[in-house]
Amino acid sequence: MKRLVLSCSAVWLAVARTSVALEVPFDELLKNPARFNRQEVTIKGLFEVEGDDNYLWRDARARKQLDWKHWIHVVPDLSLPPYPGTNMSPDSPANLHWVRLTGIVDTTFHGRIGDEPFGLLQKKVEVLPGRRLKQFLAILAWFKNDSGREAKMEVKFGRETAWFTISPGKIGMNGIEKGTGTAIAKTSSEKSFAECALTPPGSERYFDRDKYAYYYRITKNTIEPVLPSEAKTHWRLYPYPDRD
C-alpha cells in the first residue's frame, strides 16, 4: 500500500509540472510557433480588445505603427458572458494594458482571412502594473439630443460617414478622427436642421483626455460642444470598461 501511495504521488507531481505554462519571449514565439504548437505558454505584451477579437502587440511602437509583423491574434472564449452591465467583451478592462497572457498555441488557426501563421487560444489574462495606453483609443463623439425631435445623424470623419438616429432626450455616440469631420442633424424627412464642425482649431478645451471623447448638444437649430465636466456630471453616459 505504501508503494502505491508513493506511485500516485509521483504521477500527481508529474501532472502538476506539465500543467505549468511555459513562459516564452514574444519574438521567439513569433519566429517559430510550430515549436510550441498545442502547448500552453505565457507571454507578455500590449493587449488590445476589438469586439470578438483580442490582439497582443510586442510593444507600443508596434501598435503605433500598426506593425502586423509584431502582433499575435488572440482567440477569446466567446462562451463567456459580457462585462457586467454592458454588451462588451469580458476582457474589456484589460484593453491597452500591458499583460501577462496565458494561452494555447494553435498553428491551425489562420485568422479571419487565412493569412496568419498561428493564433493563441486565450486561457488567462493578467493585467500588469501601469496605466492604460489611452493614446491608442479611438476618439468618441457623444451627442445628446435636446432638440425635441428625432435626429437622424450624419457624422463625417476622414473618408468615412456614419448614420444613426437619436430619439429626443437620448444620447448617441460614434467614433471620429481628431482634426476633421462634421456632424449634421436631420429630420425624419432628411431635412438638415443643425450642423457643426467636430474638432475645429481651438476645440482642445472640449476634449476629454480621460475618456478620449468630445461631447455635443443638439438643439433646435445648432449642434454645440459641451465641456467634459458638464457632460460627465449631468449626462447618463454608457459604461465603457475598455477606456474607463
Measured CA to CA, the distance from residue 103 to residue 137 in angstroms comes to 25
Q: Give me the mean pLDDT over the 13-42 stretch.
A: 83
- pLDDT score recorded for residue 244: 85
Per-residue pLDDT tens digits for 126-150: 999 999 999 999 999 999 999 999 9
Q: What's the pLDDT band for 199 if we cut at 50, 70, 90?
A: confident
Residue 112 pLDDT level (bands cut at 50, 70, 90):
confident
Instruction: Kindly report the pTM of this predicted structure.
Output: 0.83
List the domains of the chain with CATH numbers.
21-134 (2.40.50.140), 137-234 (2.60.40.2890)
- CB within 8 A of 14, min separation 6: which ones? none
The pLDDT mean for the chain works out to 90
Whether 18 shows a pLDDT value over 80: the answer reads no
**Ramachandran quadrant class, 28 (left: phi over 0; alpha: psi -120 to 50; beta: rest):** alpha
DSSP state, 200?
-
